[in-house]
């Protein structure tokens, strides 16, 4: 994974057809997705359960690009190796998931995966300060984690603060939750570069009608890139 700050769209398969993940990953990549965002939920850290390492391993062969695994689980450490072996390129842990986030990030990097740090809406940007040299991505939650299709929570102040803290370091700012053509420009202007989109990317399409995915992805990307023109 080479680093650049170009806008990347990362559809979340939480909004995909759970009976057809392989075909869905191929469809969204063929329609312009830059990354594939994989939402792992354990029913403990968040009030929902999705899937685990076995599903990630099963979809890996169907993803040509970046498999961006978002762990909404607690504890995290016992499962890091399994997600790395499953082929995750980015493994993101929540700072709120346990008392030893520094050790968790070390363990993620030790697998060779990129280390992501996710912040729930109630966690300040300053929490990242001691960890800036341990991370490759900050995931700013703009919904309370657990479900797709929720209303965007404005975190543009936190995004701008993170952008200032990060400076020239090669650290992505990823936005996760309620991203659509209306909210994408707000977060791009504040300094975000990776935009996760579940419902806004998948809505109205299917593996039998993937062009809708392409239209959805283009609309979000153009809205975000439009802030610079
Ligand atoms: C929520 C997940 C998000 C979610 C985004 O806990 O982390 O990735 O799938 O879905 P939308 O884009 O529909 O808010
Ligand atoms: Zn997510």
In a domain, 3, yes or no: no
For the record, the structure tokens of 74 come out as 């607690």
Give the pLDDT score at 122.
98
In a domain, 217, yes or no: yes
Our answer on whether the CB atom of 146 is closer than 6 Å to any ligand 1 atom is: yes
Does residue 2 carry a pLDDT above 90?
Answer: no
Give the pLDDT score at 195.
98
Does residue 62 carry a pLDDT above 90?
Answer: yes
Give the pLDDT score at 1.
84
Spatial separation of the C-alpha atoms in residues 25 and 38, rounded to whole Å: 10
Does residue 100 carry a pLDDT above 90?
Answer: yes
In a domain, 74, yes or no: yes
In a domain, 162, yes or no: yes
In a domain, 208, yes or no: yes
Our answer on whether the CB atom of 73 is closer than 6 Å to any ligand 1 atom is: no
Could you count the other beta carbons within 10 Å of the beta carbon of residue 213? 26
Does the annotation mark 176 as catalytic? yes
In a domain, 101, yes or no: yes
In a domain, 1, yes or no: no
Handedness of CA 10, 64, 90, 88 (dihedral sign): positive
Kindly provide the residue ranges of all beta strands, DSSP E only, lying in 14-103, ordered along the sequence: 35-41, 66-72, 90-94
What's the number of domains the chain is made of?
1
Spatial separation of the C-alpha atoms in residues 115 and 111, rounded to whole Å: 10
Distance 69 CA to ligand 2 centre (A): 8
- Residue 21 contacts by C-beta under 8 Å, 6 or more apart in sequence? 13, 55, 58, 59, 62
As a whole number, the mean pLDDT across the chain is: 98
Does residue 42 carry a pLDDT above 90?
Answer: yes
- Residue 135 contacts by C-beta under 8 Å, 6 or more apart in sequence? 105, 115, 116, 117, 128, 171
CATH number for 180: 3.20.20.70
Distance 48 CA to ligand 2 centre (A): 12
Q: What is the pLDDT of residues 114-169, one digit of tens each?
A: 999 999 999 999 999 999 999 999 999 999 999 999 999 999 999 999 999 999 99
Full domain range(s) for residue 148 = 8-228
- Residue 226 contacts by C-beta under 8 Å, 6 or more apart in sequence? 185
Spatial separation of the C-alpha atoms in residues 110 and 112, rounded to whole Å: 5
Does residue 80 carry a pLDDT above 90?
Answer: yes
Spatial separation of the C-alpha atoms in residues 41 and 190, rounded to whole Å: 28
In a domain, 31, yes or no: yes
Q: Is the pTM of this model over 0.75?
A: yes
Q: What is the pLDDT of residues 19-30, one digit of tens each?
A: 999 999 999 999
Q: Which atom of ligand 1 is nearest to the CA of 152?
A: 14
Our answer on whether the CB atom of 205 is closer than 6 Å to any ligand 1 atom is: no
Query: Rg (Cα) of the chain, in Å, rounded?
Result: 16
Our answer on whether the CB atom of 97 is closer than 6 Å to any ligand 1 atom is: no
């Amino acid at each position: 994974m080479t680093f650049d700050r170009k806008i990347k769209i990362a559809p979340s398969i939480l909004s995909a057809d759970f009976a057809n993940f392989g075909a869905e990953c191929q469809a969204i990549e063929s329609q312009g997705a830059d990354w594939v965002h994989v939402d792992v939920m354990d029913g403990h850290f968040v009030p929902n359960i999705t899937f685990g390492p076995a599903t990630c391993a099963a979809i890996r062969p169907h993803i040509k690009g970046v498999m961006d695994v978002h762990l909404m689980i607690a504890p995290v450490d016992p499962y890091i190796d399994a997600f790395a072996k499953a082929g995750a390129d980015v493994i993101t842990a929540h700072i709120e998931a346990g008392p030893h986030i520094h050790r968790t990030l070390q363990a993620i990097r030790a697998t060779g995966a990129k280390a992501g740090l996710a912040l729930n809406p109630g966690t300040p940007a300053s929490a990242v300060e001691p960890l800036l040299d341990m991370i490759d991505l900050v995931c700013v939650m703009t919904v309370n984690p657990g479900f797709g299709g929720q209303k965007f929570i404005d975190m543009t102040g936190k995004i701008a603060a993170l952008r200032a803290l990060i400076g020239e370091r090669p650290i992505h700012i990823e936005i996760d939750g309620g991203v659509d053509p209306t909210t994408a420009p707000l977060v791009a202007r504040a300094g975000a570069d990776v935009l996760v989109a579940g419902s806004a990317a998948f809505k109205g399409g299917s593996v039998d009608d993937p062009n809708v995915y392409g239209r959805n992805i283009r609309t979000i990307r153009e809205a975000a890139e439009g802030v610079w023109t």
